Structure formats: C-alpha cells, structure tokens
Amino acid sequence: MTQDAQTIRRLTQVAQRLEATFLGKSETIRLMLIAIVAGEHMVLVGPPGTAKSAIIRLFAKLVQARYFEYLLTRFTEPNEIFGPIDIQAFRDGAYKRRTEGMMPESEIVFLDEVFKANSAILNSLLSVLNERVYTVGADVVRVPLISAFAASNEVPNDENLMAVFDRFLLRVHSDNLDSYHFHDLLLKGVAHEVGKIDGSYDALQPLLSAADLHALHKGFAPRMNFTEDFLAAYKGLVFQIRSEGVSLSDRRAIKMLKLFAASAALDGRSTPDPSDFFVLRHTWNNLDQAEILDGVVGPVLEAWYREHPEARRFGATDVGIEALIAELNRIRDLLTSDRPMSDIQLFSHLKALNEIKAALESLGTKPARDALTRVEQLLGHVFQSGKFAQ
C-alpha cells in the first residue's frame, strides 16, 4: 500500500470516529476531509449548540498537527492571533513577533466567530489564508497552514467581511437535527459527555499526522485529472448556477476542481465523477442560495445515483429506515387518536412528517418508497379528518 493510500485510509478512520460521535453530520465530516485533502478552508454557519466547534475540535484532536484555536471578537488584538511583539528584537531595531504556538506556526487553525474580528486582523488573515504568507515588518514569512476552519452564528452581510468570507471555499450550514434523529442524538450525546467525564475523550490518540497530509499534497498534481465529459457537465452547472443569480467567480470555479479531485481521492478514484458535484451545494453566499444550489445540483446527483445505486450518498440521512418507520408510527398514533390537539401540536407533527418524507426520499430504497406511501396516506387522512377545523 502506497503512503498516499495509507493516508486516505487513516482519513477514513477519522471520518468513522467523527460519525460515531456526531449524529447527522456525515456530509459535514466528508467536506472537512475534502478541505484538508485539497488544502482549502471551510466555514460552518449556524445557530449556537449545533456542534460546530465540537466537531472541529475533535477533528483536530485526531490529526497530529500544530493546532491553533481562538474565539474572535471586535476587541481581539493582532498579538492574540499572530503573537506578541519581540521586545528584544525591537530594542535591536527589528520589528518581529514571537509566533511560537500562534497562528503563523500552526498547521490546522480554528477561528471561532471569525466574522467578529476587526479590520486589523481581517486584513492580515487574507494573505495567510490565500497565499500562506504572513508579513511582519519588512519580512514575508511562509506559514505551514494546511487548512483553516471557522465557525459563525450568521452569514456575514458587511461588505468589509466579503474578502475574508471569500477565502473559505466551502460554506456549510449547521442546524439542529430533524425530530426523527432526536432519540439517537440523546444516546450519542450521553456517550460523548461520559467520554469527557471519564477521561477517554482526552486519551484519544491521533490517527494520522500533518506530515502525512503534507506528503499527500506534494503528490496531488496527478489527481487533477478530469475527463472531457466531466468538464462539460461542470461547465453546464457553473453557468446554470450563475444564471440563478448565485455568484461563482472564475477563481472559485477553478478552485472547486481541487475539491472534486479530493473527493475522488477519498473514494480511491483516480478521477472525479458526477457524484463529486455534491460539493457545489456548499458554495452559497447566503443561506437563501443553498436551496437554489440544491435545485441545480440535485437532479444531476439523482441521475447519477439511479445509475449507481451502490454508491454512498453524502447528505442522505444518517438514520436507518427502522428509526424513520418507528417515528412515523408514533406520529400516526397521535394524529389518528381521538385526543384533542392544539394547532401548535398539529403543525409540529406535520412538520415532523415532512422531515420524515424528505429523509425517506433521500434513501431511495423500496422499504423507503413503501414508507413514503404511508406518509402520503397519513397526510391525506389528516386533511380529510377535519382536524384543522377543530
């Protein structure tokens, strides 16, 4: 087995460990791996309490690399990110920073609430994220950064933040899980908390090193290999996305090719195929565009998976058909009973039914299609029963 193949295998083990801890995050985890293989950056956007920080921290714990993390505010000073001024050097007439343990010497970086940073920090981040260089005084220092991950509670809408936002090629929405996940969510949550209490979380050992990733990057050029059919399909998607009003610059469109190649590498393929287009769903500039991108990319993915039913669908629900049917039965019992129900309860159950319906549609199996029929029948029963008039 080649060194690259061993690194890919270890990355798969990292993904398995993360998926065992975080429910409903398989697509997020896949995108994190794609970012790290391609040497690109990713931001998680969503409300507090949706595992944005936790998943990044555990990921960093499983990779033996120089790691830097910081919660940014508008009061954060450059010293806190890039290191304090070297007083001795300053006395000798040189302007330097002491960067040990700070961002300029880190290989994996997590910037929490990155868009809260002030302009002094944002301007310095641009060259670090894009060119992998940091300027201090008259010196331009190359940094060993592999990937930067960021988290934010909201999408930036200030023009001054757009340049930094643009450096994060992948944008992932992190939200609360659907209702049918909740039981399994509680079980995984308990296991995670127990691991932190009994010390097993702190005792976790890295599964691969930064050196493995640097070696993978050095040999990445041959993986940038695309068939004419793939490029033609990609061109069509890019222009369709632009026609829908979603900005996708030429620079970003070219960088996306690295992500497709990284996705293929994680599957052990030498060249990308249409299944890798799922990455395009995460190129939005605001959350309203996520639905537009899904409408553009979704049909291409559906056509591919119909022809290749054995392929894993990233973004499909992580919950099994049994759990979905159990939740469906629970809601059916509530909706078909004679017990009085408030409008709030009724709409809550209908919302849960729609979530189950979407999850079943993503599975695409015969049991899922049979369950979908039951969902439609139950919805028909509710609308005919007069519950809305109660």
Axis-axis angle for helices 3-21, 182-198 (nearest 10): 110
Q: What is the pLDDT of residue 285?
A: 95
- At residue 110's C-alpha, the angle toward residues 117 and 89, to 5°, is 70
What is the pTM for the complete model shown? 0.84
Q: Note whether 66 and 108 are within 8 A (CB).
A: yes
User: At residue 196, does pLDDT exceed 90?
Assistant: no
Which residue type does 249 have? S
User: Would you place residue 360 in the very low, low, confident or very high pLDDT band (cuts 50, 70, 90)?
Assistant: confident
Fold of the 3-198 domain: Rossmann fold (3.40.50)
Q: What is the pLDDT of residue 333?
A: 85
What own/partner pairs with CB < 8 Å and gap ≥ 24 does 164-168 have? 164/114, 164/115, 164/117, 164/122, 164/125, 164/126, 164/129, 165/43, 165/115, 165/285, 166/252, 167/41, 167/125, 167/126, 167/129, 167/130, 168/41, 168/42, 168/43, 168/129
Q: What is the pLDDT of residue 344?
A: 81
Tell me the average pLDDT across 356-372.
82
Which residue type does 90 have? F
Tell me the average pLDDT across 24-41.
95
Q: What is the pLDDT of residue 228?
A: 97
> pLDDT above 90 covers what percent of the chain?
58
Per the model's pLDDT, the better-predicted residue between 176 and 212 turns out to be: 212
Least confident stretch, 9-18, 129-138, 235-244, 278-287 = 129-138
Least confident stretch, 220-224, 235-239, 336-340 = 336-340
Tell me the average pLDDT across 164-174.
95
User: At residue 102, does pLDDT exceed 70?
Assistant: yes
Least confident stretch, 56-70, 273-287, 319-333 = 319-333
Strand partners, 139: 136
Q: What ranges make up the beta strands (E) of the chain?
A: 42-45, 63-64, 67-71, 108-112, 133-136, 139-142, 147-152, 170-173, 208-209
User: Would you place residue 191 in the very low, low, confident or very high pLDDT band (cuts 50, 70, 90)?
Assistant: confident
Please give the backbone phi and psi of residue 220, each rounded to the nearest 5 degrees, phi first. Answer: -80, -20
Which residue type does 35 have? A
If we measure between CA atoms, which residue out of 34, 42, 36, 30 comes closest to residue 283?
A: 42
User: At residue 319, does pLDDT exceed 70?
Assistant: no
